[in-house]
Chain A
Amino acid sequence: MTPLEVCPEHVGDVSIVTFLGEFDLAVIEMAERELRLVEEREPAVLVLDLSGLEFLDSSGVRVVLQADDRARRDDRRLAVLLGSGIAQRLFALLGLLDRLELISDRADVLPG
């Protein structure tokens, strides 16, 4: 099992949080904490990059949905990069593809 890695990047007022490895029940607290730290910077755009995940389950999805909920409440923009792997399949199964702002490339949100 590959432990989850959470890698935040900040480009201007865009923050990108990349999730790598396995995102499941065991790591949601850590993921949540990392996300909150990024959110404290109040980025105009927060991108959650799930394209590099090796595993994702409903617990991970729940973290994403809660972040989306907070963004909406705080009037921030949140975009999800699903890629073509497990995240794409699970979000599709859960009927979430039209519920979130999805991007297919980071360039879609980066300035310039």
Chain B
Amino acid sequence: MLDLRAALMQVPIAVVLTRGPDHTAELRNPLAEEVLAASDERSLLDHVYSTGLPHLQLERPVTSKRDGRQEERFFNVGYEPIHDAARMVIGVLIYGVEVTEQVRARHRLSFLVPTGPALLEASLERSDVLEEVARIAVPDLGDLCVVDLLQSDGSLRRETVAHRDAPRVELEEALRRFGPAMTQGSEVLGDTGAASAMITPLRARGRVLGTLSVASAERDRYSRDDLTLLEALATRAGLALDAAALHEAEREARDAADHARARSSGLLSVTTALSRALTASEIGGVVIAQGVALLGADAAAVFLQSDDPRELELLRATGWPGEVLEQYQRVPLDGGRPLADAVLSKEPIWLESRDEWALRYPRSAPVHSGGGYSASTVLPLVIEDRRLGGLVFSFVRSLEFSHDDRECLLALAGQCAQALDRARLYEVERQARRRAERQRDREAFLAEASLALDATLSQDERLQRLADLAVPRVADWCAVHVVRDSAVKTLAVTHVQPEKVLLAEELVRRYPPDLAATRGAVNVIRTGKPELHEQISDATLVALARDEEHLALLRDLGMTSAMVVPLRVRDRSVGALTLVTAGSRERFSREDLAFAEELARRAALAVDNARLYEEQRNIARTLQSSLLPHALPRIPGVTAAARYLAAGTGNKVGGDFYDVFAAGDAWSVVIADVCGKGASAAALTALLRYTVQAEATHDPRPTVVLTRLNHALLRHLEQMEGRFCTALYGRIFPVEGGIRMTLAGAGHPPPLLVRRCGTVETIPAFGTMLGVYEDPKLHDVDVSLGSGDTLVLYTDGVTEARGPEGFFGERRLEAFLACNADCPANDLAERLAATLLAFQEGLPRDDIAILVVQVAS
């Protein structure tokens, strides 16, 4: 027979049997000894015993020692009344069935069911996920939770540490040495205060992301179930972290795309803005403004290669303190400065912090950091391997120039360089066009000047005209100095502002040219070498001034640039031309000097021509006057007047001549025209004059005088060169109430007799011209003049005078005389001469001689 008692003692169920109202334990098996404390259930036992109703207590927690350590266990504990045959309660059966595993499983479930979605849904931010993991793990899974995540380089990086108490760094350090395992009271943790720990990999999609560790100060804290729980948490956390990583990657990609889009649209707007910028300065402004906006730079500057290949000059800048800018107006292209290095090497320089500055450029670092800047970049402006300059951006913050930043900056520099090169080409083209236009203007000016200078003018008039022409087209003021009688004289001064002319004249009057001067007009005349003073500084004026007053006058003229060129003819300086610019006008260049020299060369030639012409005319005048009577003799009852107009330029002796002289008991008048002009004509005229005077004394009869004159001319046939001569000769005999005249003509225009009443008669004194034929046909004509009658003798220059209306002609002459019949002789001669001049617009084409003989009224 089975021993029931022994069996009860062995079952894995806690069993207690009590008897009587005192609940005396009849049986208590070992498990019951371990987990059921008899005293605690007294009231329950009373209740069951007295009522006879069973009672079940579910999942009673019991702390027991198992394997030497305290453990929480759960039991379903039942209380069953025990009846006797009379259905009377005589005792209570207490049994406890262990449900620890079930409870734990349910706990796990209840923990993880909300944990998983909570982790996944809480946030897509990695930091939130990690925080949540720590929050779940501490304190439920331990005192400390650590998450280490695997980095792209294979290392682990500690992301989260959560501790129930203060941070326990040592503990983390110790944990870091674990593999994924459970350690129950290892010596590794001995120093850290952790008695047990678990570590498990964080995984997602088959990839290990890192580790999740928990630790507890409690020894033997963890069971396999806890590890399972931790793994479950790790799985959820891994998925959440993966989602967060994906999200982060996506966000980064989106940010990068947004950034790239912003940059490229920024660069596009740079391109647009640059396409509108034409000058280097405008381009500099655009690049600086756009670059600063695009990159968030705090200061920027554009430098360009200056005319001197060994230095750069500042084009535009922003954000720099004034004193720094002043210092960096010009930057020598030598090593040891980031700007020079970048430009010379044609490679960008990136300086991300003050330390880097100090390390790489100790010399310029203080200036840079003094301005409050940390990071900087210097980008060379290069096009087709040509260095144009450099671009500087500086940042107050330290900065890591990302690949994108660098690409963006290099693109900006590239655009800037292209725009600058385009501007350079544009400028070159503009200058070429301006030069061409200037050249054209100059040639036009020279042509105009040559024409103007060749007009019939005296030397001085020509030089004055030169000065008038030069202002304002070539210069703002102009002075002409000439050599006269071994002295230098200021001949002409012209200024674009009339009031300055007075000032300039005042200057010349008070401070005449200094013959010892080492520069200026006198020096140029002496050396024959031109001077170009591209820029007249105040220092120049100070050096030039002879005293304070002189300096003040010089300053008042406001000269900015000047050139002095010699007026030279046949290696002889005849003067100097000074051209000066004032105010805003462009300064004179070498090209201008060459132009001025050409102008001076032409002017000098024109002036010299004028001089030669004047000399020639003077000689002609002298000679002509020697051939004409200085004064007409007094004839009783008669007034005589004469006019002689030299043809055109008057530089050649004409062949016309007249004379009035006393011969015997009467007076002779003669008017003649020798064919041709010049010296040989003059010689013949002289011969004619003296022959007529000589012959008139022998036999004053007109035909005789003219015949003898013909013979005389024929004797000089060689000299005549086929020339001939026309003449009119007459004798004046005073008679009662007037005069009687005998006249003979030899191919000469017949004289006109103007009666006092205004009638005009042609005196038929016709005959053969002289100097060709041995036997000219000549005859005497007698004519009487009464009171107020006038006889007008003239040469063909009168009737052949030509104007816009054609020839003056006999008819106009007769009409003129008819209208002026009552005019006194001298007035008549004067009016006729003036009329003829006016008719020919001041330029007689042929010589004109007029001789008027009038009987006094």
Report whether B722 and A94 are in contact in the complex, using a CB–CB cutoff of 8 Å: no
Instruction: Report the separation of the CA atoms of residues A60 and B842 in the bound assembly, to the nearest whole angstrom.
Output: 25
Q: How far is the CB of B69 from chain A (nearest CB, A)?
A: 144
Shortest Cβ distance from residue A107 to the other chain B in the assembled complex, whole angstroms? 29
Which residues of chain A are near B141, meaning CB under 8 Å? none
Q: B777: CB under 8 A from chain A? A: yes
Chain A residues within an 8 Å CB radius of B766: 93, 95
Encoded as 1 (CB less than 8 Å from any A CB) or 0, chain B from 764 to 788 comes to: 0011110011001100000000000
Q: Which of A58, A62, A94 has the most CB of B within 10 A?
A: A58
For the residues of A in contact with B, the DSSP-based class is: helix
Q: Are B746 and A95 in contact (CB under 8 A)?
A: yes
**Contact status of A62 and B724, CB under 8 A, knowing A25-B677, A95-B746, A95-B777:** yes
The reply to whether the CB of B747 lies closer than 8 angstroms to some CB of chain A is yes
Residues in chain B near residue A55, CB distance under 8 A: 800, 807
Contact B800 A95 (CB under 8 A): no
A71, chain B: closest CB distance, angstroms: 14
Is there a chain A Cβ closer than 8 Å to B476's Cβ? no
For the A-B complex, the count of residue pairs with Cβ-Cβ distances under 8 Å equals 51
Q: What separation, in Å, do the CA atoms of A59 and B722 have in the docked complex? A: 10
A96 within 8 A of B: yes
Residue A33 at the B interface, CB < 8 A? no
Do B796 and A57 have beta carbons less than 8 Å apart? Answer: yes
Residues of A within 8 A of B676 (CB): 25, 58-59, 62
Q: Is B673 an interface residue (CB 8 A)?
A: yes
Give per-residue flags for B792-831: 1 if the beta carbon is below 8 A from chain A beta carbons, else 0: 0000100010000001000000000000000000000000
By the criterion CB–CB under 8 Å, are B846 and A99 in contact?
A: no
Give complex CA distance A93, B724 in Å: 13
The yes or no answer to B726 lying at the interface (CB within 8 A) is: yes
Q: Does B723 contact A (CB under 8 A)?
A: yes
Contact of B675 among A62, A93, A96 (CB under 8 A): A62
31-65 of chain A: CB within 8 A of chain B: 55, 57-59, 61-62, 65
Chain B residue numbers with a CB within 8 Å of A66 are 722
Q: Which residues of B contact A65 (CB under 8 A)?
A: 722, 724, 772
Bound CA–CA A69/B796 (angstroms)? 25
| Closest chain B residue to A32, Cβ basis | B722
Cβ B776 vs Cβ A58 within 8 A: no
CA A83 to CA B722, docked complex, whole Å: 24
Q: A57-B800, A58-B675, A58-B796 are in contact. Are A93 and B722 (CB under 8 A)?
A: no
Could you show 21 A-B contacts with beta carbons less than 8 Å apart?
Answer: A25-B676, A25-B677, A55-B800, A58-B675, A58-B676, A58-B724, A59-B676, A62-B676, A62-B724, A65-B722, A93-B726, A93-B748, A94-B726, A94-B769, A95-B767, A95-B776, A96-B768, A96-B769, A99-B768, A99-B772, A99-B773
Query: Contacts A58-B724, A95-B767, A96-B768 given; 18 further ones with Cβ under 8 A?
Result: A57-B796, A58-B673, A58-B726, A59-B676, A61-B675, A61-B724, A62-B723, A66-B722, A93-B747, A93-B748, A93-B749, A93-B766, A94-B768, A95-B746, A95-B747, A95-B766, A95-B769, A99-B773
Residues of chain B at the chain A interface (Cβ within 8 Å) = 673, 675-677, 722-724, 726, 746-749, 766-769, 772-773, 776-777, 796, 800, 807, 846
